[in-house]
């Protein structure tokens, strides 16, 4: 099927890839049956690229060679170091997408080339463009970028038999969105959206980590903030505790031999009550409720007029969130679809529709930001040349075309500068400038000559802008396509080649390489066991892995062989 289009949820914490077949969407599993891919990238000691579970496990041992939560940096000019190279957020995301592509190829028996990729509804143009570039670097044709809450609503639409107004509450690892959606007659229409691109489950983890650090200082007088490996272990324990507190009133955070103090081991053993945890995260939850009220106000609705609530994202399993939503809306949420998977499933439905497959839902999305220009006006009771003039307001259904008339301010003015901005600030210079151009050759008319600015935004976020003198028809236009792109075509080709090379399989050149490969496999197997064993066994595994690493780097063959043998015996014992 040359037009087969997969759906991808490229998440902060986890990612998934799905396809629509046999009349329904399904998430594809890797060779070990896992359908959720941790959004983590790492390099092994030998320079092998690790993506997913193996990379996440390595974080405990080599945090300096592991990258997590890269989604929070999308749309920035940041560089992150992996091994001896610096990479952009797009390139790191492309590594995750490349692994998802391989999972799909293995599951389907054929390569995939086209994808619908989801982004938070409140992602800016720069963040959306960075996501598209990540797909292109991974060798995917990104046929559409759609909002995560919208994708989730597509999945739930199949069960709808009458018109409803639905609130989609999407709290993932790094971002938060809330969307008000109308579903009726097979049409999923987004009415309004609001959110925060830097609020999510990661922030919940950080609160627990801060609590642990305070405990260590108080009880043991130690500060591990500058010890990367100890911090990695605490962070991982915090994530585990957060998940346990979703189902249990208490969680125990334990790490043996976390660090040393005066030559003696410092062991972490701390109980965290759900009540205390909820106090830590309460400000975050209240911020999301504030965003809900903004979205409802934009949709001209009250909480009582919302028919159903859909929860999206793993962080929505937090009991406090569900309790507070019941208090606000007076009703329970719908929960027949896994909140971790519904976004990828919805993206697969949209991909099938774009490939020509008949599906039950039609998507009508909105622009999450306002687009406009600047002009002379009053700001804070003073004349200001860069007042922001909205032309396409946020939450406008797309595609859309809007125009506004402007006037020259001088007699015989023959040219005007047109600047296009994205944002909500009344000061245009505080918003994001997307593009600019100059219209020359205007007639030498008195001031007040009319110039019409026209903006047309399509479903893919491509903005067509034109400026036309009404009296003469003189016109100038530009297309803002990838206006904030960090790559030109040559740079994209170079990045694609560089990332692709990391995935090339290298056969061992000799017996030494083969031995190294076997040792790497043993270390990977041991790392994968860390989540499944007791705290005592986990500590022993970590000690043996570090002993192997030290012996390997120091060419101490005897110590290496002894530690290897002990690790093999321990793994054998744990598996029997």
Annotated catalytic residue 71: yes
Annotated catalytic residue 148: yes
Strand order, beta sheet including 432-440: 382-392, 371-379, 415-422, 432-440
Distance CA 233, CA 241 (A): 12
Catalytic residue among 170, 340, 365, 469: 170
Report the alpha-carbon angle 81-82-84, nearest 5. Answer: 85
Helix axes 319-329, 274-298, angle to 10 degrees: 40
**If you search the block for the tokens 């003696």, which residue do you land on?**
264
Alpha-carbon separation of residue 176 from 8, 123, 148, 368, 417 (angstroms) = 18, 10, 10, 13, 37
Helix axes 201-220, 274-298, angle to 10 degrees: 150
Distance CA 303, CA 167 (A): 9
Distance CA 440, CA 375 (A): 17
Distance CA 309, CA 292 (A): 11
Distance CA 302, CA 299 (A): 9
399 prior amide bond cis, ω within 30: yes
**If you search the block for the tokens 């056969």, which residue do you land on?**
507
Residue of 263, 264, 262, 266 whose CA lies nearest to 234: 266
Burial class (CB in 10 A: 0-12, 13-18, 19+), 501: exposed
Q: Note whether 154 and 361 are within 8 A (CB).
A: yes
Side-chain-facing half-sphere of 365: CA atoms under 13 Å:
25
Tell me the residue length of the chain.
Answer: 576
Catalytic residue among 30, 53, 54, 71: 71
R_g of the chain, CA atoms, integer Å: 27
Q: Which long-range contacts (CB under 8 A, 24 or more apart) does 561-565 make?
A: 564/519, 564/522
**If you search the block for the tokens 């971002």, which residue do you land on?**
175
Catalytic residue among 148, 205, 239, 540: 148
Annotated catalytic residue 170: yes
Per DSSP, 28 falls in state: P
Which residues are designated catalytic?
9, 71, 148, 170
């Amino acid at each position: 099927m040359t037009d087969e289009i997969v759906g991808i949820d490229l998440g902060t914490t986890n990612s998934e890839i799905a396809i629509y077949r046999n009349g329904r969407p399904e998430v594809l599993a890797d060779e070990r049956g896992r359908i959720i891919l941790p959004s983590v990238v790492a390099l092994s000691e030998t320079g092998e690229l690790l993506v997913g579970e193996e990379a996440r496990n390595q974080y405990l041992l080599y945090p300096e060679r592991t990258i997590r939560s890269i989604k929070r940096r999308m749309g920035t000019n940041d560089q992150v170091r992996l091994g001896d190279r610096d990479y952009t957020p797009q390139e790191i995301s492309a590594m995750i997408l490349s692994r998802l592509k391989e999972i799909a190829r293995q599951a389907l028996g054929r390569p995939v080339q086209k994808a619908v990729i989801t982004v938070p509804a409140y992602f800016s143009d720069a963040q959306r463009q960075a996501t598209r570039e990540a797909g292109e670097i991974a060798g995917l044709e990104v046929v559409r970028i759609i909002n995560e809450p919208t994708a989730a609503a597509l999945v739930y639409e199949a069960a709808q038999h009458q018109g409803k107004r639905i609130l989609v509450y999407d709290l993932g690892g790094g971002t938060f969105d809330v969307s008000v959606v109308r579903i009726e007659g097979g049409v999923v229409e987004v009415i309004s959206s609001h959110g925060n691109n830097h609020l999510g489950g990661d922030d919940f983890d950080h609160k627990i980590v801060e609590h642990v650090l305070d405990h260590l200082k108080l009880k043991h007088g130690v500060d591990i903030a500058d010890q990367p490996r100890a911090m990695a272990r605490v962070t991982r324990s915090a994530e585990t505790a957060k998940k346990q507190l979703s189902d249990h009133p208490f969680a125990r955070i334990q790490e043996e031999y976390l660090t040393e103090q005066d030559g003696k081991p410092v062991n972490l053993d701390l109980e965290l009550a759900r009540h205390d945890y909820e106090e830590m995260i309460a400000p975050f939850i209240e911020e999301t409720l504030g965003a809900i009220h903004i979205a409802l106000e934009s949709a001209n609705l009250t909480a009582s007029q919302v028919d159903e609530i859909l929860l999206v994202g793993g962080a929505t399993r937090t009991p406090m969130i569900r309790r507070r939503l019941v208090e606000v809306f007076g009703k329970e949420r719908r929960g027949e679809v896994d909140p971790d998977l519904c976004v990828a499933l919805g993206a697969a439905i949209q991909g099938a529709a774009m490939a020509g497959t008949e599906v039950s839902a039609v998507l009508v999305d909105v622009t999450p930001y306002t687009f406009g220009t600047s002009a002379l006006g009053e700001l804070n009771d003073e004349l200001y040349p860069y007042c922001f003039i909205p032309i396409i307001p946020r939450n406008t259904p797309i595609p859309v075309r809007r125009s506004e008339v402007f006037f020259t301010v001088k007699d015989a003015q023959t040219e005007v500068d047109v600047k296009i901005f994205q944002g909500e600030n009344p000061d245009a210079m505080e918003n994001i400038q997307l593009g600019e151009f100059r219209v020359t050759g205007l007639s030498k008319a008195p001031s007040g000559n009319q110039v019409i600015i026209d903006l047309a935004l399509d479903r893919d976020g491509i903005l067509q802008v034109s400026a036309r003198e009404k009296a003469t028809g003189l016109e100038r236009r530009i297309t803002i396509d990838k206006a904030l792109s960090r790559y030109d075509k040559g740079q994209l080709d170079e990045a694609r080649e560089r990332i692709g090379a990391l995935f090339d399989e290298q056969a061992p050149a000799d017996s030494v390489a083969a031995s190294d490969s076997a040792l790497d496999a043993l270390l990977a197997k041991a790392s994968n066991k860390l989540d499944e064993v007791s705290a005592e066994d986990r500590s022993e595994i970590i000690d043996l892995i570090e002993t192997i690493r030290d012996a390997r780097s120091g060419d101490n063959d005897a110590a290496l062989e002894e530690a290897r043998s002990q690790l093999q015996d321990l793994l054998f014992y744990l598996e029997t």
